[in-house]
Amino acid sequence: MGGYFWPIHMSAFENTLAFAQAQDTADPLRAFRDEFLFPQFDGRHAIYFTGNSLGLQPRAAAAALKQELDDWAALGVEGHFHAKHPWYSYHEELTASTARLVGALPEEVVVMNQLTSNLHFLLVSFYRPKGKRVKILTEQRPFPSDTYAFASHIAFHGLDPAQCLVEMKPPAGEHTLRHEDIIARIHELGEELALVCFGGVNFLTGQAFDIKGITAAAHQVGAFAGFDLAHAAGNLHLKLHDDGPDFACWCTYKYLNSGPGSVAGAFVHQRHLGTDLPRFAGWWGHDKHERFKMEPVFKPMPTAEAWQVSNAPVLPMAVHRVALEQFDRAGMERLRAKSIRLTGYLRWIIEGISAAHGGMFNIITPNDPAQSGAQLSILIKGEGRAVFQGLTAHGVFCDWREPNVLRMAPVPMYNSFEDVWRFGQVLQQVIAAGS
């Protein structure tokens, strides 16, 4: 558990406030909760389970932003080289922490743009249809931006998205994919497959995919492998270099707590660095030692920075720097260990309430920690939206996705076991009020 241990007598769950508080007392990460600002409800912290949509604001974010605004006011353009955190090289301050976060080498990662922009830039390099190798394989109902990006690149190459974009569906009567079916489908498509691109975690079901296994299968048939880690970065203990995907990209405003619409990240495996892969080029991807020579021929950086096209958005990066520092202190191994326990407690609470009410809840997120992260996705019998609205009215922040999925994610960085217990009490109140 990587330094995150629970007393043996606490191995079983109990639906009591005393148990939840004892768990929190034993939590070595408990102090991080005080580093965040919570929405308030009835004079206390709201129950915030939507870190899978937008993470809470770190208390240190305001000071980080003020530092850059003060440097801008005092230095003007000279802030590029003389600010406390020089703007010209600001993204470089984030590289080492980002590499640790996703299990990569420093030269394999870069903080830039937003998630879908990064996906587009990476598809330029890694979706190269040729001959009969034209298809992209993804999961059923990835986040819509991914679908739009895949379809637009297929069409850009003069191909038909209806023929070339293949979405895997779960078996009849099931809600999630089986790993063995993914691998079989990759081998079935074989020489027709140009790219396999899945989410690290599916946004709707909360299913986590086997990055290493999917990557290996894609490479066996001669295809590239990439991953959208929007719901995986800061949630799962990633090992991108060792698992070997060709590329990955992620946002930072969910589990990474870097603010709405914040800067995103990208990964390109070491084996592709310094190669002649096609890419869209921009000034900021040019060799930094010769950038100000303003020469007409693009000379790419020998790192993932070669995929940069524009200079760093410093203000969002300032908040992201704060957030990454928190992850460095907490450690993904410890966060993941707590997450398994915390989400396990939430699942146990919900299943107990469901059993007492005729099985009204069906958790579709896999129970196996190897196939899930912090999020639980729940199908509700009857009028599920009414349950969601009732929870919202009682100060619970969760998420409703059509047609009938309630999503919630207790985030280990700032959520507590008492939050989970309190949620169970509110859920029972909502059910009682609606019966």
Is there a domain that residue 245 lies in?
Answer: yes
- Give yes or no: residues 267 and 350 share one domain: no
pLDDT band at 8 (very low <50, low <70, confident <90, very high): very low
pLDDT band at 403 (very low <50, low <70, confident <90, very high): confident
C-alpha span between 35 and 141 (Å, rounded): 35
pLDDT digits (tens, 9 = 90+) for 359-385: 999 999 999 999 999 999 999 987 788
Tell me which amino acid residue 199 is: G
pLDDT at 354 over 70: yes
Q: How many CB atoms lie within 10 A of CB 274?
A: 13
Whether residue 77 contacts residue 84, with contact meaning beta carbons closer than 8 Å, is answered with: no
Is there a domain that residue 370 lies in?
Answer: yes
pLDDT band at 435 (very low <50, low <70, confident <90, very high): low
- Burial class of residue 398 in the structure, from the number of CB atoms within 10 Å of its CB (0-12 exposed, 13-18 middle, 19+ buried): buried
Which phi and psi (to 5°) does residue 392 adopt? -60, -40
- Give yes or no: residues 70 and 166 share one domain: yes
- Give yes or no: residues 175 and 300 share one domain: yes
DSSP β-bridge partners for residue 286: 300
Among residues 265, 296, 329, which one ends one of the domains?
A: 329
What mean pLDDT value characterizes the chain?
95
Beta-strand pair 247-250/224-228: parallel
Q: Which domain holds residue 259?
A: 65-329
- Give yes or no: residues 222 and 303 share one domain: yes
pLDDT at 383: 79
Whether residue 111 contacts residue 91, with contact meaning beta carbons closer than 8 Å, is answered with: yes
Q: Which CATH number does the domain housing residue 389 bear?
A: 3.90.1150.10
- Give yes or no: residues 114 and 206 share one domain: yes
Which H helix or E strand runs over 166? strand 165-168
- Give yes or no: residues 216 and 75 share one domain: yes
- Give yes or no: residues 270 and 365 share one domain: no
Give the mean model confidence (pLDDT) for residues 401-423.
Answer: 95
- Give yes or no: residues 346 and 380 share one domain: yes
C-alpha span between 327 and 98 (Å, rounded): 9
- Give yes or no: residues 349 and 364 share one domain: yes
Among residues 288, 312, 329, which one ends one of the domains?
A: 329
Is there a domain that residue 54 lies in?
Answer: no
Whether residue 223 contacts residue 196, with contact meaning beta carbons closer than 8 Å, is answered with: yes
pLDDT digits (tens, 9 = 90+) for 24-63: 999 999 999 999 999 999 999 999 999 999 999 999 999 9
- Give yes or no: residues 345 and 319 share one domain: no
Give the mean model confidence (pLDDT) for residues 274-300.
Answer: 91
pLDDT digits (tens, 9 = 90+) for 128-160: 999 999 999 999 888 889 999 999 999 999 999
Beta-strand pair 264-268/109-112: antiparallel
C-alpha span between 233 and 104 (Å, rounded): 12
Give the mean model confidence (pLDDT) for residues 249-255.
Answer: 98
pLDDT digits (tens, 9 = 90+) for 177-235: 999 999 999 999 999 999 999 999 999 999 999 999 999 999 999 999 999 999 999 99
Whether residue 371 contacts residue 382, with contact meaning beta carbons closer than 8 Å, is answered with: no
C-alpha span between 194 and 221 (Å, rounded): 9
The whole model's pTM is what? 0.95
pLDDT band at 7 (very low <50, low <70, confident <90, very high): very low
C-alpha span between 200 and 250 (Å, rounded): 10
DSSP β-bridge partners for residue 247: 226, 268
Q: Which CATH number does the domain housing residue 234 bear?
A: 3.40.640.10
Among residues 276, 308, 329, which one ends one of the domains?
A: 329
pLDDT at 186: 98
Q: Residue holding tokens 């880690």?
A: 229
pLDDT at 1 over 50: no
Number of domains in the chain: 2
Characterize 249-272 residue by residue with b for buried, 16 or more Cβ atoms within 10 angstroms of its Cβ, and e for exposed. Answer: bbbbbbbbbbbeebbbbbbbbeeb
pLDDT > 70: percent of the chain: 97
Is there a domain that residue 51 lies in?
Answer: no
Is there a domain that residue 238 lies in?
Answer: yes
pLDDT band at 401 (very low <50, low <70, confident <90, very high): confident
Q: How far apart are the first and last CA of the chain?
A: 42
- Give yes or no: residues 415 and 266 share one domain: no
Q: Whose CA is closest to 118, among 143, 87, 148, 149?
A: 149
Is there a domain that residue 50 lies in?
Answer: no
pLDDT band at 317 (very low <50, low <70, confident <90, very high): very high
Is there a domain that residue 52 lies in?
Answer: no
- Give yes or no: residues 176 and 297 share one domain: yes
pLDDT band at 292 (very low <50, low <70, confident <90, very high): confident
pLDDT at 340: 97
